[in-house]
Structure 1
Amino acid sequence: MLLEMKGITKFFGPVKALDNVDFTVADSEIHGLLGENGAGKSTLMNILAGAIHPTQGEIFIDGNRIEEMSITKSNELGIRFIHQELNLVNDLTVFENLFLGQELLTKGGFLDKKQMIARSAEVLKRIKLDIDPLTLVDDLEASRKQLVEIAKALLFESKLIIMDEPTTALTNKEIEILFDIMRSLKDHGLSIIFISHKMPELFEICDKYTVLRDGQFIDSGYFKDIDEQKATNLLVGRSIVDSQLVKEDVRGDVIFTAQSLTCKGYFENVSFDLRKGEVLAITGLHGDGRSELSEALFGARALTSGSITLHGKELKLHSIRQVMKAGIGMIPRNRKERSIIKDLSILNNLSIAYFISKHNKVFISRKEELERFRRNQKITDIKVDDPDNYITSLSGGNQQKVIVSRWLELDSDVYIMDNPTQGIDVGAKFEIYKLINELARRGKSLIIFSAEFPEIYKIADRCIVMYKGHINAQLNRDELNEVNVMYYATGSNSEGFNGKSVKKD
């Protein structure tokens, strides 16, 4: 057995994060570690990586008991941790990040930049990543930063790689490349611990699973012996039935219109209407202009031409504050870089949109802040001990719930949500889907940007499919299936970009 963790218990003050957990990984195995946010997955992996020490328990590598695991010792043992929250330095180049802390030196004691650049180019080529090693990391998209992190783990001799939500920012094509790399590593004798909330990915790439819930070991076995419903039940401790997500046709009059929106180099001539109580999904593949469109709809990216009207009045898009005051809220993608303010408390992170848009008093009332937090905590089920803690003290999923709550507090007429369930576990996703449906039932209108068809199908009344910056199709609810979406997302139709409601059987 490559890895054995026995009786791992961890206290953070009075809080028991792990309770007598056993976890094993065999040689040449891809092992899925499952659990909802706050289940203890990250704590267990940080103990394995030497970042924190267990209160009690033992770790064995290749049958040898490891005394006082540290980050240095973990690296020496061939354990590499690719974190969900990227650990790259934006102001350094790609090759400098790859060798950070393990730089190569010449015989004269100087940095051997030539050798480091060459080795960086080699490992980047290995994962089919066409990036110049001299590129500044700050100039890379989030998906490419994630692949650079993976390249860093492959650069040095490893026998066990921990991948924490590695596909969150990746496109479908990049995920395929990653899975090919993982299979190749397994064939060469390496083992991988794969942490993900995406069930289809877990079933596709993993051999075995271990489930944690509330800091306790729940079950372990082979994926071939269970199905997605069984896995979900193990995760949440109850049955979640998709049929509970009933789509009601509560759409009213058109309240929001985008007319001939163009942002040169990203998208062109995008037009659509949004009705009161409607959930409109916008999807496509990498490079389709979706992300830039979501920013433009909120006034965060300047348009080359076009206009947006809300309740019959043209929006002034030069001021995000004015867009918010007009009745539009936005949950952006990539919370680490675009949403959370890491130096502020959970309380302040939740309230900040309210401060900008609605607060009109001289002083901030702590009583009102706490009431605002408690009210939204009940809606989104934020798991937190003390709302005065920094937001970075929360798991990724609970951070996302704070961001969702931030915008719900504005009671906007239109909500733009760009990948709103990023980094959220299966149980919390289900709650977010119910929340989206409830907002629509109450007459709110929502534009959801997502690349996950199962998610789109659960929530959308209608779906716009983009291809290379154009609207390639608009699918009604009865036309909405994965075949149709992929057909138009890949540009397989020969009729061009007419933007009309179409159906491909």
Structure 2
Amino acid sequence: MFLQMKNISKNFGPVKALKDVSLEVGRGEIHGLMGENGAGKSTLMNILAGAFQPTTGEIYFNNERIHQMTTIKATEMGIRFIHQELNVVNDLKVYENLFLREEILKNFCFLDHKSMIKKSIEVFQRLKIDINPNELVSELDTSRKQLVEIAKALLFESKLIIMDEPTTALTNNEIENLFEIMRTLKKQGVSIIYISHKMPELFSICDRFTVLRDGKFINSGAFKDINEEEATEMLVGKSVSSIPLQRNEIMEDTIMTVEGLTCEPFFKDISFSLKKGEVIAITGLHGDGRGELAETLFGARKTTKGRITLNGRLLDLSSIREVMKAGIGMVPRNRKERSIISDMSIKDNLSMAYLTTEHKKLMVNKKEELERFRRNQELTGIKVGDPNDLITSLSGGNQQKVIIARWLELGSDIYILDNPTQGIDVGAKYEIYKLINALTKLKKSVILFSAEFPEIYKVADRCLVMYKGKINAELKKKEMTEMMVMYYATGSNMEGLKCESKT
């Protein structure tokens, strides 16, 4: 085997993150590493990349036993790690990020900017994307930052590439381009360890798999020998699909009406209504204006025109604070950049919305804050050792539960959930779906922004499909199919009308 990790264990004090885990990857193989958040995947990969030292175990790479693996040694050996959490430097230009710590020099001491920019353009052409190497990374949206991370791994000669949730923020076209490159690298003998919670991707691109659960090795084999349900059962230890989601009946009362909402140039003339206890999904393709619409509904963007009525009263969109006071909460997309405060504790992160709108005292009562955390922990199932630990100590799924609990504490009437299950495992996803159902039973309403059809079909009562900044279709539950959603998201109905008009 090209890579062998034998009987790897890793302890962080009394916590056993990995317990006797083994992993084997062949040369020119795309290997899917699967497991729920907290299963030990990232710990195992950080050991391979030299960021952590194993407590016990051995690593063999290219038929050589590796002693005291370090990040520098891993890089020199051709091991590249594309992290789930973006590691770009916003204050640097794109090409400076690509060559950070591996700059090209001329005359042994001066930076060769022209060569670095030229090579940056070449790697972006391989990825079939148009990114200006001279642009500041801070000006890029999250999907473009993710592509910069991927480009950095492809820029240098690699023998093994670790991809940790590389497609989380990518469009379908960008994902397919990435898969084409992965297949080319495979033919060239490059091995890839692919970590993802998206089953269709794993079955589409990977040859073999290894499953971890609770820091232990569960199983390994070929993807052709299993199906998605079997893979899910290995991940969570039980069949999630067999557990039905019980939906509550929608009330007749309309809680929100959106009329002609416009925020140019992102979206125009958006109108819809929302009933008590209803879940509406808003979907589409990259660049359709969904993200900006979510922000506008929460008062984070100024409208060009239009209005929103909430409980029969005109909603003041002048500030986020006013929208929160009116009874709307929001879980934004991309929790690392938009939700979590990485330098604060778990319980402090959970309390932020409450302290912003409800707290009236001069001082924060630590006892009350802990009680608030425990109450929401029981409700959302947050798995945590000490609530005073930094939120970054939690897995992605548990971080997301903290952010959702932040808004549950306010008892809002409407919850805007923008891509709420991004980068979390199938078990944590199902727990969030159950939370959404629990909210509807309390007569709360939900606006779900998502590009994942299985998620939309599982939780939504209606689906609004956007195309080029407008609502192109409204689909009821019985009309929802992946084909119909894609039909309207791509504007195929409009193209059909154009063809008919020509004839």
**TM norm. shorter chain > 0.5:** yes
Q: Which runs of 5+ in 2 are unaligned?
A: 498-503
Partner of residue 331, structure 1: 331
Q: Aligned partners of 1:447, 1:190: CA distance in 2, in Å?
A: 43
Q: How does 1:347-362 map to 2 (within 5 A)?
A: 347-362=347-362
Q: Aligned partners of 1:246, 1:484: CA distance in 2, in Å?
A: 25
Q: How does 1:128-207 map to 2 (within 5 A)?
A: 128-207=128-207
Q: Aligned partners of 2:435, 2:173: CA distance in 1, in Å?
A: 31
Q: Which runs of 5+ in 1 are unaligned?
A: 498-505
Deviations 1:264-305 (A, max 9, x none): 110000000000000000000011000000000000011111
Alpha carbons of structure 1 residues 488 and 99: separation in structure 2 relative to 1, 3 Å: same
The Cα of 1:496 is off from its aligned counterpart by 9.2
Contact map agreement 1:252 1:277 (CA 8 A) in 2? no
Q: How does 1:103-142 map to 2 (within 5 A)?
A: 103-142=103-142
Partner of residue 255, structure 1: 255
Deviations 1:408-460 (A, max 9, x none): 11110000000001111100101111111121122100000000000000000
Q: Aligned partners of 1:406, 1:145: CA distance in 2, in Å?
A: 27
Contact map agreement 1:472 1:496 (CA 8 A) in 2? no
Runs of 4+ in structure 1 over 6 Å off: none
Deviations 1:125-155 (A, max 9, x none): 1111111111111111100110110000011
Matching residue's letter, 1:141: D
Q: How does 1:34-113 map to 2 (within 5 A)?
A: 34-113=34-113
Q: Aligned partners of 1:328, 1:385: CA distance in 2, in Å?
A: 31
11-20 or 433-442: which moved more?
433-442
Q: Does 1:364 align with 2:364?
A: yes
Partner of residue 306, structure 1: 306
Matching residue's letter, 2:31: H
Matching residue's letter, 1:282: I
Q: Does 1:445 align with 2:453?
A: no
**Matched residue SS, 2:97:** helix
Contact map agreement 1:282 1:448 (CA 8 A) in 2? yes
Q: Does 1:241 align with 2:241?
A: yes
Q: Aligned partners of 2:472, 2:360: CA distance in 1, in Å?
A: 44
Q: Aligned partners of 1:395, 1:441: CA distance in 2, in Å?
A: 28
Q: Aligned partners of 2:469, 2:243: CA distance in 1, in Å?
A: 34
The Cα of 1:242 is off from its aligned counterpart by 5.0
Q: TM-score, normalised by structure 1?
A: 0.97
Q: TM-score, normalised by structure 2?
A: 0.97
Contact map agreement 1:37 1:396 (CA 8 A) in 2? yes
Q: Aligned partners of 1:51, 1:90: CA distance in 2, in Å?
A: 23
Contact map agreement 1:104 1:111 (CA 8 A) in 2? yes
Partner of residue 344, structure 1: 344
Q: Aligned partners of 2:379, 2:194: CA distance in 1, in Å?
A: 30
Matching residue's letter, 1:286: H
The Cα of 1:108 is off from its aligned counterpart by 4.8
Q: Aligned partners of 2:74, 2:443: CA distance in 1, in Å?
A: 53
The Cα of 1:17 is off from its aligned counterpart by 0.4
Alpha carbons of structure 1 residues 495 and 43: separation in structure 2 relative to 1, 3 Å: closer
Q: How does 1:420-499 map to 2 (within 5 A)?
A: 420-494=420-494
**Matched residue SS, 2:494:** coil
How many residues are matched? Answer: 497
The Cα of 1:325 is off from its aligned counterpart by 0.8
**Matched residue SS, 2:4:** strand
Q: Does 1:320 align with 2:307?
A: no
Q: Aligned partners of 2:43, 2:482: CA distance in 1, in Å?
A: 37
Q: Does 1:378 align with 2:378?
A: yes
Alpha carbons of structure 1 residues 336 and 496: separation in structure 2 relative to 1, 3 Å: farther
> RMSD of the alignment, in Å?
1.2
Contact map agreement 1:278 1:440 (CA 8 A) in 2? yes
Contact map agreement 1:332 1:338 (CA 8 A) in 2? yes
2-11 or 378-387: which moved more?
378-387
Q: Aligned partners of 1:359, 1:369: CA distance in 2, in Å?
A: 11
The Cα of 1:250 is off from its aligned counterpart by 2.4
The Cα of 1:259 is off from its aligned counterpart by 0.7
Deviations 1:372-417 (A, max 9, x none): 1111112222121111111111122211111111111111000000
Matching residue's letter, 2:216: Q
Partner of residue 500, structure 2: none
